Structure formats: C-alpha cells, structure tokens
Amino acid sequence: MDFSVLSRYDDMLASYFVDSLYLWYDTLRMNGDFVATTVNKQDTVQKIRDHIINVNSSHKTIKDAVDSFLEIPYFSSFIKDMSSKQVSEFTHHMKRYLYMYKPNAGFEVGSTTRYTGKPEACILATKDWTAGEQVTCCLGSIAELTEQDDLKLKREGRDFSVMVSTRKKCSCLFLGPARFMNHDCDSNCEFILIGQNAITFRVQKDISIGEEMTVFYADHYFGEDNCECLCSSCERYKRIVNERRSSH
C-alpha cells in the first residue's frame, strides 16, 4: 500500500476508533487537512459490544463487525468509489483497530505526558504478561518510503511514525494501533514482522497489569546513540549517574 493511502486510512480510523471513543485529546495525525467526523458513541460502542466483546455468545466475527461499520454513512461514502482492492486494504486496516477491543487483547491505549508535557498515546497492559507471549491484538502496518518520501515527511514534521526496517533495508511508515507503543531503551517488548507488511510484538520481560508496554525503536532514533531519548530507562539511568556523582 502506498504510504499516502495508508496515512489517510489511519487518520480516519484512529480518529473514529480511538480518539472519539475514550481519549480526551487527539492523537497525532499524518495529514494536516484531516477533518474528524462526529461519532455516535452509543451506537459505535453497541456495535463493538455486539460484534467483538460478546462474540462468544453471538458467534459473530471481526468481519461481521467490519461489515456493520461499513454501513455507517461516514465509511460507506468513503469507500463507494474505491476498487475492490482498495476496499480490501481499508477494511483490513480497520480490523487492526477493532482487534483492540477483543476481551483478550491484554492492552489499551492510554496517555502519558513524559515526552512533551502534553497528553500523548501509550500502550498500557490490562493483564499480566509473561515473557515470550505474543501481543497478537496490537497490530500495525508498514508502507515502504523512497528517499524522497522520507525527506518530505521530515521537512513537513510528519516523520513521527517512520521506522527503519532492517529486513527491507529502507525507511517505512508505521501506522495502526501498534504505533502507539512508545520507545524505551530497556523495552519490555520487541517487534515481530508478520508477512511482508504487518507488525505485532513479542513480550521480552514479564509485564504487570497497568504497566506501560514499550519497544526499542532503533539505536539512533533519538539522536546519536539515542542521546536525546526521554524514556523511563534513560531517566532512571541519568538519575543514578547524577546521584553517584553528587555522592563523591
């Protein structure tokens, strides 16, 4: 999928299924011209309950949930002129957001002010995780970027969700609910590539309910050797170093 197409899909779905339902702030948008819609919360929550949360009793699937949401004018008007391939790509990305609501997902999107002093998204554990488990419901998609695309996003300040794929040997735009998992230099999760373009995570350390789930982005993501990193581990390390210096 082209990165500009993926970014348009993601803005729409993140606004609808994350921001409008239970966050009190807007998550970062890839496109500055995006205009959010008014969401009927009661109707949306009921659809999620009927098709995802109570799936065991109703025998409905994620596909049923997608079909139900595509009947909403907001989505039906968006896809009406799409090709079957485009509709398939859009609905596949919608599924990634709907999986967040499965009862066994084990995480939720929360907020942190660690990085800018303003609320930003993070992933919080809603159950105890054991090292080795796979976070199957926290999913994302990547789209390859050309050097020109990468530079353009940097110039426009829209490179907040760009990662370097060692397997693809290029920069990629990384979107979907998985993009809300923040970096930590001593992270408790790691990236897993599924197929060619999908990403999820594997737990590296035991995680307690309520704890933030984190992943290591790259060695130089926040400056040389991540010298500008503001993660919890870096803060803790710098505090220990300063305490040792002050004690001498």
Distance CA 122, CA 183 (A): 10
Domain contains 163 = yes
Domain contains 41 = yes
Tokens of 145: 């970027």
User: Concatenated DSSP letters for 164-213?
Assistant: EETTTTEEEEEESGGGGSEE-TT-SEEEEEETTTEEEEEE-S-B-TTPEE
Q: What is the CATH number of the domain that holds 213?
A: 2.170.270.10
Looking at the structure of the chain, the number of domains it has is 1
Tell how strand 120-125 and strand 134-144 pair up. unpaired
Domain contains 248 = no
Domain contains 243 = no
Domain contains 242 = no
Q: How does pLDDT run across 162-195, given as a tens digit for each residue?
A: 887 777 778 899 999 999 999 999 999 999 999 8
Domain that holds residue 186: 3-232
Q: How does pLDDT run across 45-87, given as a tens digit for each residue?
A: 999 998 898 866 556 789 999 999 999 999 999 999 999 999 9
The pTM assigned to this predicted structure is 0.90
Domain contains 160 = yes
